[in-house]
């Protein structure tokens, strides 16, 4: 068997088909993942209490703050692997694969220690409501205790996707999602374990998906195959991972720092606000599915084609990805505007919970195209080998501006609308900056040249 026959090259054939066939399994897989994330909140909100819903939902910004950096850092390896595959550098691909996995093990240990030690203090700093705090502590401690599975899963799935394989991660996410939903119902609805049961179900399902990815790579017959005997952190590859990974990791963490501060501001309005806006974030996750799918697809597509020096294919992919993704997300936002109260009510029927959640949804709904555009262009930058540019834009627009407003206007004005409007306003600012960059790089025109 040819050692490369399981690697899917994105450097030839129809640009649209290649991107769609790559993005679609990611979309479906993330749909199942979002379903089980939402199942946690739905089951907790309906079978436990409003405080339990607030606990599970409101800690997401804190969890993302810790996990986002490590996952983003590790993602630098997938860009390098995809670039080497496109350029046909076999030995460099093998070195990058084994360095990525070895680094993932190290990062897993660091995240477990830091998350477990610092999360109680962070929850206090965030002003978590008193009736929510004990439940939030239970959830975060269990989550971080099993966070190694999440890190290793992201590293392993990044290796598979760098090789053009977005189908097997889909199968593993489906298996993981169904396991999580079943475990949620069993541990929460039957054994009445509350948020502790939700955390155990989540960690267990993530471990399953990581194990399935590992088995797949151990059985591979190509350059992305894993061999424990070859595990090592190669300094030259590590240097490349740092170049791509640190800006990507910092970009996610910087955004989450501002999200943690905004969550603290939201918590000051009480449990109903935390629960309502927490429920909204679960719904927003479904809107974000096309963004995640096209972002990952474009980063890999561009990395492989840059490695193969196929610049025109890069331009075609950029145009198709932006137009398609932003159009889909705007349509979803329009639907959400009209259905928001009913969707929030599915999590918890308390009128105050529905009020806060629907208000946030309707504030952001028509601005989702700007959010999508900013994320897609960030993915394009990473594929182009320019990870510092999107990190800088996000640091200014999605962190510095938000934090500055909270520390100034937020101290004088106690209004939930301030927190709600911070998002669409900063999405709009970053969109303008990214649009100017794309024009200068000659990477995007709305319509193809005739």
Per-10-residue mean pLDDT, the chain, length 450: 56 89 87 76 79 77 76 78 88 93 90 87 84 88 90 91 86 89 89 89 92 94 93 92 82 80 90 90 89 90 87 90 94 95 91 95 96 94 87 91 93 93 96 91 62
Specify the 3-state DSSP secondary structure of 219. Answer: coil
Residue 80's contacts (CB-CB under 8 Å, 6 or more residues apart) are 96, 237, 240, 241, 244
Question: Which two three-digit tokens encode residue 253?
Answer: 């963490």
1 located within any domain: no
- For 47, phi then psi, to 5°, come to -105, -15
Please state the three-class secondary structure of 62-103 as a single string.
Answer: HHHHHHHHHHHHHHHHHHHHHHHHHHCCHHHHHHHHHHHHHH
pLDDT of amino acid 447: 53
pLDDT of amino acid 2: 45
For residues 296 and 26, is the Cβ–Cβ distance under 8 A? yes
10 located within any domain: no
450 located within any domain: no
9 located within any domain: no
pLDDT of amino acid 5: 47
Closest listed residue to residue 59, CA positions, set 37, 34, 32: 37
d(CA 297, CA 19): 6
447 located within any domain: no
Closest listed residue to residue 151, CA positions, set 80, 81, 69, 212: 69
448 located within any domain: no
Domain hosting 87: range is 15-441
pLDDT of amino acid 229: 93
- For 221, phi then psi, to 5°, come to -130, 55
- Count of domains observed in the chain: 1
281 located within any domain: yes
144 located within any domain: yes
């Amino acid at each position: 068997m040819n050692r490369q026959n399981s690697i899917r090259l994105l450097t030839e054939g129809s640009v649209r088909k290649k991107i769609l066939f790559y993005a679609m399994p990611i979309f479906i897989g993330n749909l199942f993942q979002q379903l089980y994330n939402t199942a946690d909140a739905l089951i907790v909100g309906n079978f436990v209490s409003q405080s339990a819903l607030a606990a599970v939902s409101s800690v997401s910004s804190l969890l993302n703050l810790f996990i986002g950096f490590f996952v983003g850092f590790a993602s630098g390896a997938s860009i390098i692997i995809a670039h080497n595959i496109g350029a046909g550098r076999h030995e460099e691909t093998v070195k990058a694969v084994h360095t990525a996995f070895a680094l993932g093990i190290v990062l897993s240990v660091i995240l477990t220690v830091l998350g477990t030690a610092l999360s109680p203090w962070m929850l206090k700093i965030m002003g978590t409501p008193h009736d929510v705090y004990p439940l939030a502590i239970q959830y975060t401690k269990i989550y971080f205790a099993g966070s190694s599975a999440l890190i290793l899963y992201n590293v392993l799935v990044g290796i598979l996707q760098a090789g053009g394989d977005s189908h097997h991660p889909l199968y593993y996410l489906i298996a993981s999602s169904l396991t999580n939903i079943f475990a949620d119902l069993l541990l929460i609805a039957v054994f009445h374990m509350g948020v502790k049961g939700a955390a155990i179900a989540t960690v267990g399902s993530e471990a399953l998906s990581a194990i399935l990815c590992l088995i797949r790579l151990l059985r591979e017959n190509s350059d992305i195959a894993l061999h424990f005997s070859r595990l090592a952190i190669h300094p030259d590859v590590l240097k490349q991972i740092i170049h791509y990974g640190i800006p990507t990791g910092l970009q996610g963490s910087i955004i989450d720092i501002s999200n943690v501060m905004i969550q603290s501001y939201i918590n000051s309005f009480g449990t109903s606000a935390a629960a309502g806006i927490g429920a909204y974030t679960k719904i927003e996750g479904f809107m974000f599915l096309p963004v995640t799918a096209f972002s990952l697809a474009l980063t890999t597509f561009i990395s492989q084609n840059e490695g193969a020096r196929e610049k025109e294919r890069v331009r075609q992919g950029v145009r198709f990805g932006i137009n398609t993704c932003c159009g889909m997300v705007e349509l979803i936002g329009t639907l959400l505007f009209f259905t928001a109260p009913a969707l929030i009510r599915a999590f918890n029927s308390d009128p105050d919970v529905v009020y806060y959640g629907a208000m946030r949804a309707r504030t952001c709904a028509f601005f989702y195209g700007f959010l999508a555009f900013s994320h897609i262009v960030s993915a394009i930058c990473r594929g182009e080998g320019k990870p510092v540019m999107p990190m800088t834009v996000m640091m200014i627009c999605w962190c510095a501006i938000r934090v500055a407003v909270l520390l100034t206007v937020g101290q004088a004005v106690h209004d939930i609308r301030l927190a709600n409007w911070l998002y669409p306003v900063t999405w709009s600012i970053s969109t303008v900056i990214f649009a100017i960059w794309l024009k200068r790089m000659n990477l995007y025109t709305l319509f193809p040249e005739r």
